[in-house]
Amino acid sequence: MIELARQYGRYGYRRIAALLRDAGWHVNDKRVERLWRREGLKVPSRQPRKGRLWLNDGSCIRLRPEYRNHVWSYDFVHCRTDDGKAFRTLNILDEYSRECLAIKVKRKLNSTDVIDALSDLFILRGVPACIRSDNGPEFVAQAARDWISAVGARTAYIEPGSPWENGYCESFNARFRDELLDGEIFYTLREAQILIEQWKRHYNTKRPHSALGYRPPAPETVVPMDHRPTMH
């Protein structure tokens, strides 16, 4: 438990308990919590709940994902390498499964990069019913809007100044920054790309997700080797 807490410093005892059970330990949350407190480990502070977007007419907009590939969302995150030069990441999520579909890392990202990243995913996974994003210039570029419509997906833009309407991406971005970006020094862009890809793989296949019953969004599947007769 202490080793996992040291390795994943921003995880609380429930997430650590899920990792222990995944590793074969027969422990429940209460026992882990007792040991957690006895060892003086601190539970990360909870994020405040965000409200809904209420319009002037009293109605409330809320597009909820109902199945895999129903709603994807995407957003930018800013960071810097050790030399002070900025880079950006384009994070794309499936809101229903909570799987991170892609993180594109470049010094500069624009609407063309958004189209390139989405087109690769469309080939691999098919076209989602709806794509949610904020109102940044990369997302509202006419070329991107026309392309998304042409391939059969709807665009859903959140209201300006209302990040909670893109809550899935906002939550992911917060975990991404808290668990990786704030704790790493990236000396080169290439190093950032490698470490971010490694974190994405861990997030999808290992990291327990509280909204999924402390299961990872896309756990790895182990295929046993065939039992072949031994040659004498």
* Predicted confidence (pLDDT) per residue in 37-89, tens digit: 877 777 555 544 444 444 444 444 456 788 899 989 888 999 999 999 999 99
Residue 205's domain is classified under what CATH number?
3.30.420.10
Strands (E), 134-175: 154-157
Using DSSP's 3-state secondary structure scheme, residue 88 falls into strand
Q: Which of 41-50, 195-204, 207-216 has the lowest mean pLDDT?
A: 41-50
Query: Do 90 and 32 share a structural domain?
Result: no
Reply yes or no on whether the pLDDT at 147 is more than 50. Answer: yes
- What whole-number distance in Å separates Cα of residue 71 and Cα of residue 84? 35
Query: Do 145 and 186 share a structural domain?
Result: yes
Number of residues that make up the chain:
232
* DSSP-derived secondary structure letter, 192: H
Reply yes or no on whether the pLDDT at 223 is more than 70. Answer: no
Query: Do 94 and 26 share a structural domain?
Result: no
Provide the pLDDT for residue 160: 52
7: domain range? 2-38
Provide the pLDDT for residue 60: 43
Query: Do 117 and 27 share a structural domain?
Result: no
Higher pLDDT, 214 or 25: 25
Mean pLDDT of 5-22: 81
Provide the pLDDT for residue 23: 79
- What whole-number distance in Å separates Cα of residue 154 and Cα of residue 130? 5
Q: What is the dihedral of CA 204, 66, 175, 186, to 10 degrees?
A: 60
H helix or E strand, kind and range, residue 232: none
Provide the pLDDT for residue 189: 95
